[in-house]
Every structure is written in C-alpha cells, then in structure tokens.
Amino acid sequence: MSKKHTVPRGCADIAPPEIYHWQTLEYALRDVLQAYNYQEIRTPIFEDTELFARSMGQSSDVVMKQMLNLASQRPSEDGHPRLSGLSLRPENTASVVRSYIQQGLDRRESLTKLFYLGPMFRGERPQKGRLRQFHQVGVEAIGPHAQSPFLDAEVVALSADMLQAAGIKEFVININTLGSVEDKENFSGWLRQQLGARLDELDEEDRGRFDRNVFRVLDSKNAATRKVVGSIDMQQFKLSTDSQAYFEQVLKALDRLKITYRVDPTLVRGLDYYTHTVYEITSSALGSQDALGAGGRYNRLVSQLGGPDVGAVGFALGLERILLALNPKDDAVQNGPAVFVIAFDEDSFERAWEATSLLRRAGIRADMAYQVGSVKSLMRQANKSGAAQTVILGKDELARGVVGLKDMASGEQQDVSIGSNDYQQLIEILKERL
C-alpha cells in the first residue's frame, strides 16, 4: 500500500463545509473595508529575507526564531541546504510598504489606503490558535497626509467595526503610546534602568530579550517576569508634551465614536517599527492565546526601507482567531445547490444535463445526479443535497414535454412545460420560488 501523505504540521486544510464559514467572514470584512475606502493589494507570499529583518528588527523573536527561509535546490559544498535569501512572509506590513515604494504610490496620491487578505508563515510551535500557516486581514494607510491622530483612531474604529461585522460582540481594545522616535529611545533607556536592577529575577529567555530588545520583556507570558514588570510604575516615565497631546487626540476621537478601550501602559508591541499609537484587541473566548489582532503607527518604516519620509498606520486581524472566537456550527451552513436535477433513465439523462446547464447560465445554483437510478435512490440524493427544489425527468415526462418540479419542503409536485428545448417557464418559476 502506498504511503498516505498528511498536511504539514502546523498547517490545516480548509475544506467544505468549513470553507463556507471562511467565505462568509471574508465577505463581511470586505464590505466594511469598502465602506472605509480601502483598496485591496496582493503581494507575493515570499520576499527578500532582508526586507523582514530591516522592518521587524534583527533582534525580534520573529526574525530570530520564527522565519521560514527558502532553500535553493542546489546544496552547498558540505551537502546542507543553501539558503536562497528569500523567506515566506511572517506578516504583510513590510511587503505592502515595499510595494508602496516600488510602485511610487506617494507620487500618485497624498494618502494611500490598502488592505490585504491571505496566508502568513511562521516557524511556531503549533497549538490551538497558533499555526505555522495562518491567515490575516490587515490594512495600511500610508502617505504624506497619514500623520493625523484621527487616522490612528480610524484604524482602531475600522478593526472594531470589522470584528462586529464578523459577529464578535465582546472584545477588549488595549491601547498605549510609545511616543515619538526620541520618546521611544528614552523609554527604552528608562526601562533598562528599571529592569536591570532585577535582571536575575527574569526568566532566562527574557534576559535574552532584555539584551536584544527590552520592549519584548513587557510582552512576556512568564509569571516571574510578569511579576517584575507589574511592579514597575510605568506612569513615572513621561512622554514629550507633543506626544502626550497626540495620544490625547487619538483617545478623544475614539470617545467621540463611543468606542470602549483600556489604556495599558505595558503594551508596547515588540516590532521595531512602531512609534506613537499601539493597540491590541483580545477576546476571552480564545483562552490563553487571546489576541484577535493588533496594530499601530510606524512613521519611520517607509523611509527606513528606502522610501519617502511619510506617515503610516495599520493593523492585522487573525482569521483563524476570529473563527475560533465565533465557533460557528457546520450544521448551520447552507452550502448545497438550490435546485437538484435527476433523470430516471438514460434517454432522459442528456436532457437533465442540458436543463442543469441552462439553469446555471440563468444564475440559478444547480447540480444534478450524474447517473441514473431508482426513484428512491435519486430522491435520496436530492434530499442529501439540501436543494429546495428538485427537477425530475423520465420517459413519461419526456413524452409529455414536461419536467416534474418538486418542492422539497412541502412535497408538492407540478408539471412544467419545456417543449422541445424551452426551459424559460421553468427558469421563471424557480426564480420566483427561490
């Protein structure tokens, strides 16, 4: 017996009926994005490794531990795989910014509003809500006119509206500010002073984070580290007056929209490119992996990647996380045809196939039994399909120039004339019923 292959660890097939939950979610999200005037962009699923290292930071956990690098087919001299310099995208902000620069979008418009939807890849230790291939929907607002605090508030509002459109009613928006680039550098130094005196109390992994990127220590899930972080009074560090005023405007804008949020001074987002507003959305329905999505402002990233000095802000939501929080039931999915066509004999089969094809061309969701059989077996197939209406053809129907049309809910059946090949009356009746 040939070996059976299975899906790679940390990945998942999305097949019917589950796929219909995904499609329903994606349609709902796209409607909200359209209302906010965000346009779709599709970038490659792999980029130069250096792009992600420069954008996310060489010391970030993603770059150091989770990047999935592509290998060349030609091995190195020692027989080991030769890295190609390409990596599967662990997130999509860097790719969108790269495209923004390469396409010269800053020369076309003062504010470019883009969204993406697709798979991302990280070398995670697979667990519920954390996969090696996962899917995100996200937005990036970039351009000379992207400096306004009201744009920060807009992306927070947009992410909240998308979650509500998806059907998630209860979630928490945690928000904070890192201030300007200078504020962030000063904050980093202040944190090193606060944590440095208690370095021996930190988990070993967090001591490594302290050396590489002190902000990552604040994201730690380790209980001992959390205790140390919790004892630090973050309010002692003061942002510049301008940065404080900027953040106050963001919060006031959210208040005007009656969006509930919680200011969390420990929320920093570990990626290097963030400045000013950062936020994360969580849901208690997800357990320990409770993040639905996150985002913030990253004004310097475009210029760091060789583009103009413009503002930028965005976010990403995890589709798997949203569906986990929703926990939709497959038995509620209506995914079958609206009309099912059956033929009782070979003489009727060709006309049944013709009828099915013409119903589809008329915009009616139709399918058929691709073999003849007994009345009992064919009606069992029609029932199993979930179709609301069944079209029936046999020798008797052909002789009379009709088809039988059965309403599967009521059980009532009527003859509908089709003549030699005129299905218009059948189409009109079906459109009226459906």
The three-class DSSP label of residue 270 is: coil
Say whether both 364 and 313 belong to one domain: no
**Structural domain includes residue 12:** no
Say whether both 303 and 376 belong to one domain: no
Average pLDDT over every residue of 47-59: 83
Say whether both 299 and 347 belong to one domain: no
Q: What is the pLDDT of residues 399-417, one digit of tens each?
A: 999 999 999 999 999 999 9
Say whether both 52 and 120 belong to one domain: yes
**Structural domain includes residue 184:** no
**Structural domain includes residue 371:** yes
Q: Answer left, alpha or beta for residue 403, where phi above 0 means left and psi between -120 and 50 means alpha.
A: beta
Say whether both 285 and 142 belong to one domain: yes
Say whether both 276 and 297 belong to one domain: yes
Cis peptide before 17 (omega within 30 of 0): yes
- pLDDT attached to residue 215: 79
- pLDDT attached to residue 196: 81
Portion of the chain with pLDDT greater than 90, in percent? 68
Q: pLDDT band at 271, cuts 50/70/90?
A: low
The domain tally of the chain equals 2
How far apart, in whole angstroms, are the C-alpha atoms of residue 356 and residue 340?
8
Say whether both 307 and 426 belong to one domain: no
**Structural domain includes residue 143:** yes
Q: What is the pLDDT of residues 144-156, one digit of tens each?
A: 999 999 999 999 9
| CATH number of the domain to which 410 belongs | 3.40.50.800
Say whether both 296 and 394 belong to one domain: no
**Structural domain includes residue 256:** yes
Q: What is the pLDDT of residues 331-376, one digit of tens each?
A: 655 678 999 999 999 999 999 999 999 999 999 999 999 999 899 9
How far apart, in whole angstroms, are the C-alpha atoms of residue 387 and residue 366?
8
Q: Supply the range of the domain harboring residue 419.
A: 336-433
**Structural domain includes residue 150:** yes
**Structural domain includes residue 204:** no
Question: Closest Cα to residue 30, out of 170, 158, 168, 172?
Answer: 158
Burial class (CB in 10 A: 0-12, 13-18, 19+), 295: buried
How far apart, in whole angstroms, are the C-alpha atoms of residue 322 and residue 136?
10
User: Looking up tokens 């589709």, which residue turns up?
Assistant: 319
Is 143:311 a contact under the CB 8 Å cutoff?
A: yes
How far apart, in whole angstroms, are the C-alpha atoms of residue 160 and residue 251?
15
Average pLDDT over every residue of 226-230: 82
Is 325:285 a contact under the CB 8 Å cutoff?
A: yes
Domain boundary among 298, 326, 354: 326
| CATH number of the domain to which 112 belongs | 3.30.930.10
Q: pLDDT band at 184, cuts 50/70/90?
A: confident
Say whether both 300 and 270 belong to one domain: yes
One DSSP character per residue, 186-249 reads HHHHHHHHHHHTTGGGS-HHHHHHHHH-THHHHT---HHHHHHHHTS-GGGS---HHHHHHHHH
Say whether both 276 and 350 belong to one domain: no
User: Looking up tokens 């697979």, which residue turns up?
Assistant: 126
H/E run at residue 149:
helix 149-166
- pLDDT attached to residue 197: 79
Please tell me the pTM assigned to this model.
0.87
Domain boundary among 326, 352, 370: 326
Say whether both 340 and 322 belong to one domain: no
Question: Closest Cα to residue 121, out of 130, 112, 113?
Answer: 130
**Structural domain includes residue 405:** yes
User: Looking up tokens 């927070």, which residue turns up?
Assistant: 156
Say whether both 120 and 140 belong to one domain: yes
Domain boundary among 273, 307, 326: 326
Is 371:397 a contact under the CB 8 Å cutoff?
A: no
How far apart, in whole angstroms, are the C-alpha atoms of residue 337 and residue 258?
43
- pLDDT attached to residue 341: 98
